[in-house]
Structure 1
Amino acid sequence: MVSSPRRVGVLTGDGIGLEVVPAAITVADAAAAAEDLRIDWDELPFGAAAIASHGEPVPDATLSALDDLGLWIVGPHDSASYPPEHSSRTPGAVLRTRYGLFANLRPAKAFSGVPATAPDIDVLIVRENSEGLYADRNMAVGSGEFMPTPDVALAVGLVTRAASERIARVAFEAARDRAVSGRPARVTIVHKANVLRLTTGLFRDACREVGEEFPDVEVTEQHVDAMAALLVRRPADFDVVVTENLFGDILSDLAGELAGSLGIAGSVNCSATQVMAQATHGAAPDIAGRGVANPVAMIASVSMGFRRYGLMTDDPALVAAADRMDSAVADTLAVSIATADLGGTSSTSEFADEVARRTVAA
């Protein structure tokens, strides 16, 4: 018997979001049905379409609906193309701030069947998502980026002990969860405390102190520049990497490309009670509407969202559906069924249909 439905928000977004989000839903519905689970997808106005219908990219109606949801999926937004009055703050920033989505989890793992620069990479970047140098996150009111003269630009970076400790605990707990089949639990703290002594020094020290609460987890440290080089040279040396906002953004993109493509890189933004699944790539307006967009990253993001929220709420059916999605994607790519960017010939929807078929056997 099908259990009571789970309600999940859908913010389709712009560009290829109109293709990859429906593709991910196709796969998620098939995986959920295989677990006797029904998902009620609550489609909400968002992005350029919401500007046309509601006068703003993230309308109050959407926020009111999300207030009552623990899990939602978000397609890419093309805020650079919005009218000037709607481009000062990105839709993602609005959602991260309102819901306190402080943790950005970005795994990078190579798939069989996908050419990868680093075929042995299997790393999780745990990125602090609420502070740092980004102007939409570093000030309580207004922007921390400003120009005292037309020829001088300044930026304020924010690091607090509380936020650093909070993200460190997410990283150490993730390392414990990933320590299976004899694999040791390892966390690498990435900083630049030799130069940014106060800000990233505080981040490093807070992470070290949290690490003392996890004696079973091996702790190492790297400066961010060395870490970038080592991810290329020795990716298998790393398991969970915890770092501040800007460093995490850069390193996760690097790791995704080393694994094969940003088109396969899933991601979730989360608090202790809510999860937003959103792929790391952009809206790619140059290929939108052609049916060639790679939906793997969006499928992987929805799977991560199912798993994260399922564990938060003690919902094993959601976790099992996520397992099916992951296995089906891996099995499909392993037999060289893929979109053109990965060397295949499948359209976005054809790939999604094949993955959905395989979720039943996963």
Structure 2
Amino acid sequence: MTENTAARQYRLGVLEGDGIGPEIVPASVLVVDAAVAAVGAPAIEWHDLPLGRAAIDEHGAAVPAATLRALAELDGWLLGPHDSVSYPEPHRSQLNPSGTIRKHFGLYANIRPAKAINDEDAVVPGTDLVIVRENTQGFYADRSTYKGSGEFMPTPDVAIALGIITRDAVQRIARSAFELARRRNRRVTIVHKANVLKLTTGLFRDVCREVAADYPDVEVDDFHIDAMTVHLVRRADAFDVVVTENMFGDILSDLAGEIAGSLGIAPSINASDDRAMSQAAHGSAPDIAGRDIANPTAMILSNAMLLDWLGGRYGDPALCQAAALIDQAVTDTVRAGTKTRDMGGTAGTGEFAEAVAATIKRL
């Protein structure tokens, strides 16, 4: 916490993105406004910024330089999904919008909760865990080099990928995981593949264990990635905070989201020590775009995570209270029977968001 500013007015960027983004992002903004008003905090100052295919058409880039400059002046950002595979070349082959922003601002931690809203919808009832994913290194080609790609082909028949793990990056993601565990149930599980990737993921496991020594109040265990997938399917409710490298975190968080009920309810934030961006874990779903049937839950809950992060950073209990209100309102709304089609209901995108906002006012 850097300062106590309960009366602070926050300035947040809004990046609607592609596909269902222009539907779920405004719906989630409606909910944030309701929660902030309910706790008596100053209204959020919203800044709409171009991103995605619309930005390509108007500005010649999926993430215009002016957008990056504007983001640097704001307290946080809401990022809608992008459909970069449909962009015209050369934009399709460039780093996607999410990756561009993450890399530009050094958002090294991807925090992805998986919490069952309705046990009847969950594969494992009672699931309530968080995947803490290192976001800057590993085997993904867009993150393992400063310039260029971490993949290359010396011949048409040979493809090579670099996997990068550094002590500094592991230390900071491990500390993020252990600090989070202290606010939850004080358990951390390290996921690796040190029996095969002995040097890279072995370093990840060992450095996490070293950091664990500074948190004697937190219980620690570790599993190989293949074993961990089995454990999640059978007993996801037994885990609290899971810390792992980039690719393993991507796979586990999608699996955990489905186990909790649906990727449609899977939120996340991307954060560094001083910046954070909310981003639903799912994609842009262009096949249902414009039909008012997309589930905004993941985006709504991602925004709650952003509010909580900002509340912690600025010592603002009102913002943390607004985040908790959103979480509770989503749960109460779903359990009262208002659901989007993917969850077995009939509510449209806007209708669901309005129901959550109404629940916030009642709470």
TM-score by length of 1: 0.97
Moved more, 35-44 or 204-213: 35-44
Residue equivalent to 1:137: 143
Q: Is 2:70 the counterpart of 1:70?
A: no
Residue equivalent to 1:85: 90
Give the distance between the partners of 1:72 and 1:343, measured in 2 at CA. Answer: 31
Query: How far is 1:339 from its partner?
Result: 0.4
Query: How far is 1:5 from its partner?
Result: 2.6
Q: Is 2:60 the counterpart of 1:55?
A: yes
Residue equivalent to 1:281: 282
Deviations 1:35-83 (A, max 9, x none): 1220011000111111111110100111111111231100000000111
Moved more, 71-80 or 107-116: 107-116
Match of 2:136, as an amino acid? S
Residue equivalent to 2:211: 210
Which 4+ residue blocks in structure 1 deviate beyond 3 angstroms? none
Conserved 8 A contact 2:119-2:125: no
Conserved 8 A contact 1:132-1:138: yes
Q: Name stretches of at least 5 consecutive residues in structure 2 with no aligned partner.
A: 1-5
Q: Is 2:306 the counterpart of 1:305?
A: yes
Give 1:165-244 correspondences, 5 Å limit: 165-179=171-185, 185-244=186-245
Match of 2:262, as an amino acid? S
For 1:148, what is the secondary structure of its paired residue?
A: strand
Conserved 8 A contact 1:30-1:360: yes
Conserved 8 A contact 2:137-2:144: yes
Residue equivalent to 1:346: 347
Conserved 8 A contact 1:19-1:289: yes
Query: How far is 1:18 from its partner?
Result: 0.7
Give the distance between the partners of 2:38 and 2:99, measured in 1 at CA. Answer: 35
Match of 1:85, as an amino acid? P
Match of 1:235, as an amino acid? A
Match of 1:167, as an amino acid? I
For 1:360, what is the secondary structure of its paired residue?
A: helix
Residue equivalent to 1:11: 15
Query: How far is 1:361 from its partner?
Result: 2.3
Using the aligned pairs only, state the percent identity.
Answer: 58
Give the distance between the partners of 1:234 and 1:112, measured in 2 at CA. Answer: 17
Give the distance between the partners of 1:25 and 1:114, measured in 2 at CA. Answer: 28
Match of 2:82, as an amino acid? H
Give the distance between the partners of 1:266 and 1:114, measured in 2 at CA. Answer: 20
For 1:178, what is the secondary structure of its paired residue?
A: coil
Conserved 8 A contact 2:20-2:284: yes
Q: Is 2:37 the counterpart of 1:36?
A: no
Give the distance between the partners of 2:284 and 2:238, measured in 1 at CA. Answer: 33
For 1:5, what is the secondary structure of its paired residue?
A: coil
TM-score by length of 2: 0.96
For 1:286, what is the secondary structure of its paired residue?
A: helix
Residue equivalent to 1:182: none
Query: How far is 1:336 from its partner?
Result: 1.7
Conserved 8 A contact 2:10-2:75: no
Query: How far is 1:3 from its partner?
Result: 4.4
Give the distance between the partners of 2:286 and 2:230, measured in 1 at CA. Answer: 32
Give 1:246-325 correspondences, 5 Å limit: 246-325=247-326
Give the distance between the partners of 1:3 and 1:189, measured in 2 at CA. Answer: 39
Cα distance change of structure 1 residues 4 and 160 upon mapping to structure 2, 3 Å threshold: closer
Conserved 8 A contact 1:3-1:36: no
Give the distance between the partners of 1:90 and 1:98, measured in 2 at CA. Answer: 12
Give the distance between the partners of 2:214 and 2:7, measured in 1 at CA. Answer: 39
Residue equivalent to 1:359: 360
Q: Is 2:103 the counterpart of 1:97?
A: yes
For 1:219, what is the secondary structure of its paired residue?
A: strand
For 1:84, what is the secondary structure of its paired residue?
A: coil
Give the distance between the partners of 2:138 and 2:229, measured in 1 at CA. Answer: 19
Residue equivalent to 1:121: 127
Moved more, 286-295 or 5-14: 5-14
What is the number of residues matched between the two proteins? 356
For 1:337, what is the secondary structure of its paired residue?
A: coil
Give the distance between the partners of 1:193 and 1:3, measured in 2 at CA. Answer: 48
Conserved 8 A contact 1:306-1:321: yes
Conserved 8 A contact 1:70-1:273: no
Query: How far is 1:84 from its partner?
Result: 1.2
Conserved 8 A contact 1:45-1:58: yes
Query: How far is 1:317 from its partner?
Result: 1.6
Query: How far is 1:174 from its partner?
Result: 0.5
Conserved 8 A contact 1:113-1:333: no
Give the distance between the partners of 2:360 and 2:255, measured in 1 at CA. Answer: 30
Give the distance between the partners of 1:351 and 1:204, measured in 2 at CA. Answer: 42
